[in-house]
A = this chain, B = another copy of it.
Amino acid sequence: MTVLVFLDPAHENGRVADPAQPQLMATDLGATRGDGIFESMLAVDGVARKVGAHLDRLAKSARTMELDIPSADAWRRAIATALAEHPPAEEIVIKLLVTRGVEGADRPTAWVQADAAGPVGRKQRQEGVDILLLDRGYDSSLAERAPWLLLGAKTLSYAVNMTALRYARAHGADDVIFTSTDGLVLEGPTSTVLMATERDGVKTLVTPLLENGILPGTSQGALFKAAAAAGWQLGYGPLQPHHLLEADAVWLVSSIRLLAPVKSIDGTPIPVSAPMTDELMKLLAEGSQD
């Protein structure tokens, strides 16, 4: 069951809308130009995780896109309404969406969508994923010199990400890790890349450099905070593909799938560590409470 709650100044806690009826104007710039932003978060046992981090990132995407969006409080109230309207479920996916609104209206369209989590995320979390490395076409220094390319914003213009996933599936893989034209590991189409090493009893978590034009991962941020408190060393790239092949474990981490262990890269099997996955899953849950 899908729950829709539109942010609407006339409804303090959001306006609940019928998901079986059309709710968007055909001239909404979200639909006609992918002109908007979004966030996806998980609610576990009725409690949304990392709401603050998602709202912070939504606000950052809005600034990059020059979008005037509802306040964090208005979003929190709409999220609460959506969760109250949704039948209880162990895991509920909550999406926050904002478009630039109907052409000419100069007022964003903003809504919350809640659905029970599907089986694919859980399956990949448990069974792992085979990934392809695909060229993202950008060099790793581009983000800072070309803000119009929106590299740090989570926009609704996700056609390339969706196509990369289809390409992977058509070529026998489950997911993708994008690389830069200068050979660095970037991110997945819907995830952050994470790798771990254990040397002489010292466990280290490493993720690519944010400055390379990737989206700051809310799950990676939550996990790093909890892992540091638990004694892990933390590292930030630059990472090259050979670093992933030489790691003791690699994951795609995202808010809905959580940690998906990477089993192979371009057909080459890599080590998977069930104990480290279990430990990091617990740390991620701890770090995602606020």
Name A residues whose Cβ lies closer than 8 Å to a Cβ of B.
Answer: 2, 4, 17, 19, 21-36, 38, 65-66, 95, 97, 99, 111, 113, 134-139, 142, 145-150, 155-164, 166-167, 181
Contact = CB atoms under 8 A, between A and B. Distances in A.
A188 B236 CA distance: 36
B26 A32 contact: no
B24 A28 contact: yes
Given A27-B2, A34-B156, A166-B66, A138 B135 contact: no
26 contacts: A2-B27, A22-B25, A26-B111, A28-B31, A29-B162, A31-B31, A31-B99, A33-B158, A33-B162, A34-B34, A34-B155, A34-B156, A35-B159, A65-B163, A134-B146, A134-B148, A136-B149, A137-B138, A137-B146, A148-B160, A148-B163, A148-B164, A149-B163, A150-B159, A157-B158, A157-B159
Nearest to A151: B137
A181 B146 CA distance: 11
A211 to B, nearest CB: 15
A139 B38 CA distance: 29
Nearest to A23: B26
A35 B164 CA distance: 12
Given A19-B27, A25-B23, A28-B31, A163 B145 contact: no
A159 B4 contact: no
A29 B38 CA distance: 13
A63 B4 CA distance: 32
A36 B159 CA distance: 7
Given A147-B167, A150-B160, A155-B159, 8 more contacts: A19-B25, A26-B113, A29-B162, A32-B38, A32-B95, A135-B142, A148-B160, A181-B181
B156 A137 contact: no
A251 B247 CA distance: 53
Nearest to A139: B181
A59 to B, nearest CB: 17
A63 to B, nearest CB: 12
B160 A149 contact: yes
B181 A167 contact: no
Contacts of A97: 26, 31-32
A33 B159 contact: yes
Contact of A156 (B21, B24, B26, B31): B31
